[in-house]
Amino acid sequence: MSESEIKLFKCPTCSAPTQYDTKKFPDFPFCNKRCKMIDLGAWASEDHKIEGDQEGFDDHFSEEGTF
């Protein structure tokens, strides 16, 4: 692939340019390990959430262990 054909992506954390090349960017889609860990921390602290229907969710994971 020539230099003119390289597709650049934005890092989801800092918007720095990155590309799908695991030798140059082993943490793709992030530009580096720091941005990858920032994103992981955001998921762990529930800053990032996947929207969905929560109705009935607790019923599936009740104290009795039944579904």
pLDDT in tens, the chain (67 residues): 555 578 899 999 999 999 988 888 899 999 999 999 999 999 888 887 788 776 655 655 666 655 5
Gap between the Cα atoms of 37 and 14, Å rounded:
12
3-class DSSP state for residue 59?
helix
Distance between CA atoms of residues 9 and 45, nearest Å: 26
What residue numbers bound the domain in which 39 lies? 21-46
Say how many domains are in the chain. Answer: 1
Residue 46 confidence (pLDDT): 86
Question: Do the domain assignments include residue 36?
Answer: yes
In a domain, 35, yes or no: yes
pLDDT of residue 1: 52
Predicted TM-score (pTM) above 0.75: no
Identify the burial level of 45 via C-beta atoms within 10 angstroms of its C-beta, where 0-12 means exposed, 13-18 middle and 19 or more buried. exposed
